[in-house]
């Protein structure tokens, strides 16, 4: 239709400043998410250094995202972690606080934060989403952040 002005983000990371925040908990899985995000951004033209911040677990992701967002140095952030139900009775609390906190930081700072937090029932499901059968959610989160960063620039 001719009376619609569509605003879309290009998947081009050139010139952007990006930070990743990665939880150390379930490091075996999270490292693959970090790899997926770095690979995606590099293949989409990122030409500056990536800042990688490591935090103990998913619960700490929002605070680090907030600090990075408030620094004003970044065009986008990707939050990466893996919460696996089998290994904790407080699965639900960690998932809820991490996801709510990341969303709150993103809205308050008006900064795109790719949500690369796996929440799975077991390790096998997490591995599937970290670069095997079900793709790489770190790369997916980087893609979502990039598209949103580019679309926000035009609004
Ligand atoms: N943190 C995770 O990132 N993944 C988990 O699966 C997990 N489990 O199972 O407990 C987890 N817990 C730690 C939590 O995120 C905090 O680091 C901890 O409670 C200290 O604040």
Q: Is the CB of 80 under 6 A from ligand 1?
A: no
Atom of ligand 1 nearest to the CA of 23: 3
- What pLDDT is recorded for position 1? 61
Ligand 1 centroid – CA 89 distance (Å):
10
Q: Catalytic amino acids?
A: 90
Q: Is the CB of 25 under 6 A from ligand 1?
A: yes
Atom of ligand 1 nearest to the CA of 87: 9
- What pLDDT is recorded for position 78? 98
- What pLDDT is recorded for position 126? 96
Nearest CA to ligand 1 atom 19: 59
- What pLDDT is recorded for position 55? 98
Tell how strand 135-136 and strand 130-132 pair up: antiparallel
- Assign a CATH topology to domain 18-154: Rossmann fold (3.40.50)
- What pLDDT is recorded for position 2? 78
Domain limits, the chain: 18-154
| Residue showing tokens 């690369």 | 116
Query: Tokens standing for 113?
Result: 């934060």
Nearest CA to ligand 1 atom 6: 83
- What pLDDT is recorded for position 86? 77
Q: Measuring CA to CA, how many Å separate 66 from each of 17, 101, 102, 110, 113? A: 16, 9, 8, 11, 10
Q: Which residues of the chain have pLDDT under 70?
A: 1, 87-88
């Amino acid at each position: 239709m001719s009376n619609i002005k569509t605003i879309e983000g290009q998947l081009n990371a050139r010139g952007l400043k990006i930070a990743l925040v990665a939880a150390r908990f379930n490091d075996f899985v999270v490292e693959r998410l970090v790899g997926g995000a770095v690979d995606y951004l590099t293949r989409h033209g990122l030409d500056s250094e990536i800042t990688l911040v490591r935090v103990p677990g998913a619960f700490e992701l929002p605070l680090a995202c907030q600090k990075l967002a408030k620094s004003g140095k970044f065009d986008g952030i990707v939050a990466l972690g893996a919460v696996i139900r089998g290994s904790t009775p407080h699965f639900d609390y960690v998932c809820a606080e991490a996801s709510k906190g990341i969303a709150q930081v993103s809205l308050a700072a008006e900064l795109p934060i790719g949500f690369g937090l796996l929440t799975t029932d077991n390790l096998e499901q997490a591995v599937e989403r970290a670069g095997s059968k079900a793709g790489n959610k770190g790369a997916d989160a980087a893609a979502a952040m990039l598209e949103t960063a580019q679309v926000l620039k035009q609004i």
